[in-house]
Amino acid sequence: MKNQKKSFQPKTMLHGAFLGATLLAPGLSVATIALVLGIYEKLLGSIGDFFSSKWKSTLAFLIPLGIGALIALIASSRVLTWAIAYYPFQLAFLFLGFIIGAIPLLLKTSKAKEEFKVHHIIPLIVMALLVASLRFLNPAASIYVIEQLDTGTIVRLLIAGALAAIAMLLPGLSAALMLLLMGVHAGLTAAISDFNLPVIGVTMIGVLLGLVISSKGIKYLLENYTTLTYAVSIGMVIGSVVVVFPGIPVGVFEVLTCLGAFAVGLVGVILIDKVGARKE
């Protein structure tokens, strides 16, 4: 952006920590958090400029943002790895709360009631069915520990990283949701927690490829095909509910804790929406 401040700002690291904490939470949109923090346009512009001749001007913003995000990402990966091992059902319901809470937010952001026509609803339904069909492949539980980087795993990590990067820049769409749908969320979370550099490195290459493709492309889509882009995104989020749903909890303790986790996720997204509305 033309009026970007090029000096280092300590609060940028704190902003990065907020973004990093949401990176591994399916249903929480990094772009939405950036909107709430008031840095979305600056983030999108800086990423676009980083892959151009203006890259030096972005460093004062992107470096502290990246440091804050990395610290929060490592911390959240430790917590999630523990939760995946001991409370997988509760964690899945927390994610469901995030995801279901994000749907009304996306509908409002896209002005679906006023803007959606038949040619928007059809791709929304098709995308929702396609994503929901991934349930039959059971991607959410297919990889918990990535023990070796064979060709199939490398390709999956590259694609997952690229999709996550694209999702990061679309308001309402979750980067972690893409990882979950690709079946690498739990494995990558464990890899970050354990500092498994080969797995992290391959994924980061995918992320960089995704950023190169999407930094300009998303801006173009949002400017020229806004409603259709949102319709496809909403379809993906709706379909992911089927994929993430772990089944019916058993026992009083599990039922109550799952409902509590779901409520926390749902209320959390609603509060984020309200804070963003106040800022606007």
pLDDT band at 150 (very low <50, low <70, confident <90, very high): confident
In a domain, 222, yes or no: yes
- Count of domains observed in the chain: 1
Q: What is the number of other CB atoms lying within 10 angstroms of the CB of residue 38?
A: 12
pLDDT band at 140 (very low <50, low <70, confident <90, very high): very low
In a domain, 254, yes or no: yes
73-77, 132-136, 236-240, 264-268: least confident range:
132-136
25-34, 62-71, 230-239: least confident range:
25-34
Residue 40 sits at φ, ψ, to 5 deg, of: -60, -50
Nearest to 257 by CA among 81, 100, 91, 83: 91
In a domain, 58, yes or no: no
Structural domain that includes position 123: 89-279
pLDDT band at 279 (very low <50, low <70, confident <90, very high): low
Between CA 66 and CA 49 the distance in angstroms is: 16
**Would you state the pLDDT for residue 4?**
44
**Would you state the pLDDT for residue 213?**
79
pLDDT band at 142 (very low <50, low <70, confident <90, very high): very low
Between CA 234 and CA 120 the distance in angstroms is: 11
In a domain, 219, yes or no: yes
The full length of the chain comes to: 280
**Would you state the pLDDT for residue 236?**
85
Portion of the chain with pLDDT greater than 90, in percent = 23
Nearest to 182 by CA among 214, 213, 147, 154: 154
- pLDDT tens per residue, range 108-130: 878 888 889 988 999 999 989 98
Does residue 1 register a pLDDT over 50? no
- pLDDT tens per residue, range 160-173: 999 998 888 776 67
Between CA 53 and CA 94 the distance in angstroms is: 42
Nearest to 172 by CA among 225, 111, 92, 114: 111
Nearest to 12 by CA among 61, 59, 57, 45: 61
Provide mean pLDDT across the span 232-238. 87
**Would you state the pLDDT for residue 29?**
77
In a domain, 199, yes or no: yes
DSSP collapsed to 3 states, 193-216: HCCCHHHHHHHHHHHHHHHHHHHH
- pLDDT tens per residue, range 24-62: 888 777 877 887 777 887 887 888 788 778 888 888 888
In a domain, 68, yes or no: no
In the chain, where does DSSP find H-type helix? 10-22, 30-37, 40-50, 59-86, 88-109, 112-115, 118-132, 151-168, 175-181, 185-193, 197-224, 226-244, 252-279
Is the pTM higher than 0.85? The answer reads no
Portion of the chain with pLDDT greater than 70, in percent = 90
In a domain, 167, yes or no: yes
**Would you state the pLDDT for residue 148?**
77
Question: What does 151-172 look like in DSSP terms, one character per residue?
Answer: HHHHHHHHHHHHHHHHHHTSTT
In a domain, 17, yes or no: no
